[in-house]
Structure 1
Amino acid sequence: MSSLSSQSPQPRGQDGQDSSVGELLSTVTSDVQQLFRQEVELAKAEVRQEATKAGRAAGMYGGAGFAGYMVALLLTLAAMFGLANVMDLGWAALIVTAIWAVIGLILYRRGRERMRTVSPKPEQTIQTLKEDAQWARHPTR
């Protein structure tokens, strides 16, 4: 029996000839680089999605603040003068101010709840990259 028959078969290239270790390493390296590039693109997409959510929540904060200011200003004046017919103007202003403070607190809490749902990191991509790195260190496992 010859020593060639006891060896395992060699990998073959696309042209049917034996591939060198360098060619195989080059192919694996290229594939890993492409995989990492795709993972980075996925991470960027996830970050953009989370930034959009954060922008909407911040817009709600701003909108709530501006709307609250305008409404408070105009309704406070109307309510104060309406209540001034029944009580002193100072007490009327204090009552109306307390009502708008409660409304402002409710809007703030809703905005804060929405902001808490925003994830600062692309969790799924980070986990996948960790798995890819683990595989790259130990490809036979």
Structure 2
Amino acid sequence: MPEQDEQSLGQLVANASRDLSALVRGELELAKAELKESVAAAGKGAGMFGAAGFLVYLAVILLSVAAALGISALGLHPALGFLIVAGVYLLIAGLLAFIGIQNVKKAGPPERTIRSIEEAKALMNRSESNGSDPKQPAAIDR
């Protein structure tokens, strides 16, 4: 005869279900906390990158002014020094634009996807011409 301390099968299943639910809820809470920390760290990192980018932008402006004034210190008119610096920047921008255009021209349509779609169309057309049901998957010839 079973002892009174033993639980019935239904009680064991209920306890296991309750414990499993508690475990899943605990894991979800842990995942939420970890994600919250990760997102906060990523946000701080992105803010730091943004601040660094802004400071680099300011440094480029100041270095450009310094370069223009340095050219004018060589005996040229200050306006000519600023035009030279601006010209150098325009040459660099033109070079970057040229390289960018060349890279864009290299981009093409997704050839593998197009080929795969054409093969699927051909397979569908072949199965329809054989009289098979188009809703049923066609047998693949091997």
Larger Rg: 2
Structure number with greater CO (CA < 8 Å, separation at least 6) is: 1
